[in-house]
Every structure is written in C-alpha cells, then in structure tokens.
C-alpha cells in the first residue's frame, strides 16, 4: 500500500491535468445501490456502492462507534452484525443521538436499566431536546392483519418494496417512527370515478389490487407507475385499472400487443407473435403458449 501511495503521488505531480481528469471520471462513477435479498426472502437486503474515500473512512468509523454503543447497551451480536445494525441506526440521526446519550450514561456507571436496543421497546428521541418535527417521518406501506398489529401476535407482514417479513421484523423497522394507521380500502366496494384518470383512493385501490405492473414478467412496483385504463376510453373503475410503466404503455399501444383484464386483477396478454400470457392477482406470469385460435 505504501508503494502504491508513492506511485500515485508521483503520477499526480507529473501530470496534474490527467490526475484531475481521472478524479472527475471516478467521481462520476459514484453510486449507492440497495436491493432485497431475493434468494433468501428473509427480510434482509444488500447494500453496495462507490463513494469518496474520505467519506468511506468516516462511514467506517461511524459504524464502529455506533456498534460500540449497541454493545454497551447490551447487544450481543457479532461485530459484523453490530456494524450492520449500526448502518440502520445511522439512517435515523435523532435515534442515534438518543443511543449515544444512553450509552454514555451506562459507560459512566449511570442508569443500569437503560433500554436494550434489541428489545424493541419503542425508543423515541428525547422530547426535551428535539422538536417533534425533527423526528423521522416515513411513508411505509405495510399489509397485515390488524389483529397482528394490535395484539402483537406472531404472523407475516408484507412490506412494500421488501416483501414478506415477520411481525417482529416489522416492529423493529417501525419502532423509531411515528406510525399512522390508514383506513382499510375495501377493493370490492370502490365506486367508479367520472374523471379520466385514476386519482386518490381509486388509484390507491388499484395499487393495492396489483402490487406490480400488469405486463408479462414485470417486477416494477405499481406505486411507481401510471394506472392505465385496460380498455382504452373505458370507465374509470377498479376492474378497468391496470398499472403500466410508460414504456410498457407504449409497447401496448404501438407494439401490436393485445391486453384484456378478464376479471378484476387478472390480465391476459397476446404478443405480436401470438403468444399468450396470463398475469394472476399475485403478479405471477403464466405462459399459456401459442394462440391456436
């Protein structure tokens, strides 16, 4: 490493313009990517990226500091697990402040009954120090049986963008946020709209009906797409609603695809080459083979 550093220093001194060009090129390749663990499906995800070296060192040190706080407060995971938990805490700066206060108190021999960060006991940022408006706000769409939430029963929870997780994982994810329970939308009693587009509760109902867009083999989230009239110029109703991305809509309109919603939430597509695809209510695509009729 020392030799490499000396070579890099020499190259910069010999050709500052080239060094500046390379630095700019490297800066344009920075990124951060976060994705679900599709293979495991256990509520974990992957984080990868390329950031400035100085920022990477700061992040590395911050992860160690927060991991030390978690250990001080009773977390018993491995160092790798503690650092992974620390990254999640850093997404909530106000909670990290509370964590630091509690860790400092314990380290000084203070309150031995400080809450365990693994216990899910509903910590909040200290009200006497932080304006409630500074508490983290998050819009998270969680689909679950109300009894699971109110009675803390074991069960499964579907977190939009993350997939199925356990009830306890949901509590862990939401414990440092203010949670607002939205009224349930009954998909079977949604009234039609006189508007030309899907708005408000009708749009939300269409998204809840089909979490992914209605195009064959699509895994694009409906919430990030347009709600399309399956039958063009047809009524604006829940059973004539199907989410499509702009590209999928152009393919349908100009690519000689045929699209029918044969029943609410079930879509049938015919490709330009006569291949039939059925999209069920869970968003799964079924290849029905060639259209022989």
Yes or no: say if 121 and 95 are a contact pair by the CB < 8 Å rule: no
Task: At 225, give phi and psi (nearest 5°).
Answer: -125, 175
Structure tokens at 53: 């070296």
Domain ranges of the chain: 1-50, 52-131, 142-174, 191-290
Q: 93 or 63: whose pLDDT is higher?
A: 63
Residue whose entry in the numeric block shows the structure tokens 């344009």: 28
Please say if the pLDDT value at position 2 is more than 80: no
What is residue 151's predicted lDDT score, i.e. its pLDDT? 52
pTM of the model: 0.48
Q: Residues 195-216: pLDDT tens digits?
A: 888 988 889 889 888 888 999 9
Best-predicted range by mean pLDDT (28-42, 56-70, 85-99)? 56-70
Residue 131's alpha-carbon distances to 135, 148, 170, in angstroms, are 7, 31, 26
pLDDT band at 82 (very low <50, low <70, confident <90, very high): very high
pLDDT band at 219 (very low <50, low <70, confident <90, very high): confident
What is residue 127's predicted lDDT score, i.e. its pLDDT? 46
Yes or no: say if 250 and 259 are a contact pair by the CB < 8 Å rule: no
Q: Residues 108-160: pLDDT tens digits?
A: 665 544 445 555 444 444 444 445 555 555 556 666 665 555 555 566 666 66
The pLDDT > 90 percentage for the chain reads 26
| Element (DSSP H or E) covering residue 49 | strand 45-50
Please say if the pLDDT value at position 234 is more than 50: yes
- Give the separation between CA 280 and CA 210, rounded to whole angstroms: 9
Residue 106's alpha-carbon distances to 2, 62, 73, in angstroms, are 41, 19, 7
Q: Residues 8-29: pLDDT tens digits?
A: 777 777 887 887 888 888 889 9
- Give the separation between CA 277 and CA 216, rounded to whole angstroms: 7
The pLDDT > 70 percentage for the chain reads 69
pLDDT band at 103 (very low <50, low <70, confident <90, very high): confident
């Amino acid at each position: 490493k020392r030799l490499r550093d000396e070579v890099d220093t020499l190259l910069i001194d010999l050709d500052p313009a080239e060094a500046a060009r390379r630095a700019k090129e490297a800066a344009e390749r920075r990124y951060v990517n976060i994705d679900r663990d599709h293979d495991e499906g256990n509520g974990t995800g992957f984080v990868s990226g390329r950031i400035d070296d100085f920022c990477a060192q700061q992040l590395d040190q911050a992860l160690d500091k927060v991991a030390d706080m978690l250990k001080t407060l009773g977390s018993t995971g491995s160092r790798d697990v503690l650092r992974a938990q620390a990254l999640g805490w850093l997404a909530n700066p106000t909670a990290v402040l509370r964590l630091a206060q509690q860790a400092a108190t314990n380290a000084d021999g203070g309150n031995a009954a400080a809450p365990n960060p693994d216990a899910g006991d509903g910590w909040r940022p200290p009200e006497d120090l932080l304006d409630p408006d500074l508490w983290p706000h998050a819009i998270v769409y969680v689909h679950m049986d109300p009894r699971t939430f109110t009675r803390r029963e074991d069960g499964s929870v579907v977190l939009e963008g993350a997939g199925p997780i356990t009830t306890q994982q949901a509590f862990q994810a939401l414990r440092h946020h203010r949670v607002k329970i939205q009224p349930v939308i009954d998909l079977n009693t949604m009234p039609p709209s006189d508007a030309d587009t899907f708005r408000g509760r009708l749009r939300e109902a269409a998204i809840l009906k089909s979490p992914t867009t209605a195009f064959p083999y699509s895994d694009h989230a409906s919430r990030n797409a347009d709600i399309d009239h399956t039958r063009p110029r047809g009524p604006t109703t829940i059973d004539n609603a199907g989410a499509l991305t702009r590209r999928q809509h152009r393919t349908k309109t100009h690519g000689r695809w045929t699209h029918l919603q044969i029943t609410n939430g079930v879509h049938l597509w015919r490709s330009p080459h006569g291949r039939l695809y059925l999209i069920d209510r869970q968003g799964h695509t079924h290849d029905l083979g060639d259209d022989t009729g």
